[in-house]
Structure 1
Amino acid sequence: MAKTSIGEFVNQVKTEAGKIVWPTGRETVQTTILVLIMTTILSMFFLGIDTVFNAIVSWLTSLAR
């Protein structure tokens, strides 16, 4: 494996950094809103699943009393 000099490494980093495509402000806002919506939906889903499992476990433990 050939070693690269520090100057060559810095030039490669600059070249790669130039290829970065940054999102626009609108894309950032849209993505943020989508993440908030999906997080809310998933939290509601897991709340429902947790409630159902809690009811099942409570019912099963009441049978053992």
Structure 2
Amino acid sequence: MARTNPAQFIQQVRGEVAKITWPTRREVVLTTVMVFIMATLTAIFFSLVDLSIRTGLNGIFGMF
């Protein structure tokens, strides 16, 4: 296993960090809004599924 000295390591890390493409502020805001919208839609969907299952089971158990 090849060992590098700390100076070389820091130089390599800086080189790799320079290759990173950071998102713009607009992209971050847009992505955040999309995540909140999808989380809300998912919560509504599962609430409706839960409500329909509960109603169906109450109907079935109400017969007996």
| Structure 1 residue ranges without an equivalent (≥5) | none
Give the deviation of 1:2 after TM superposition: 1.0
Deviation at 1:57, TM superposition (A): 2.7
**Does 1:19 find its partner at 2:19?**
yes
TM-score, length basis structure 1: 0.80
CA RMSD of aligned residues (A): 1.5
Opposite residue 46 of structure 2, the aligned amino acid is F
Matched residue SS, 2:20: coil
Q: Cα offset for 1:25?
A: 1.2
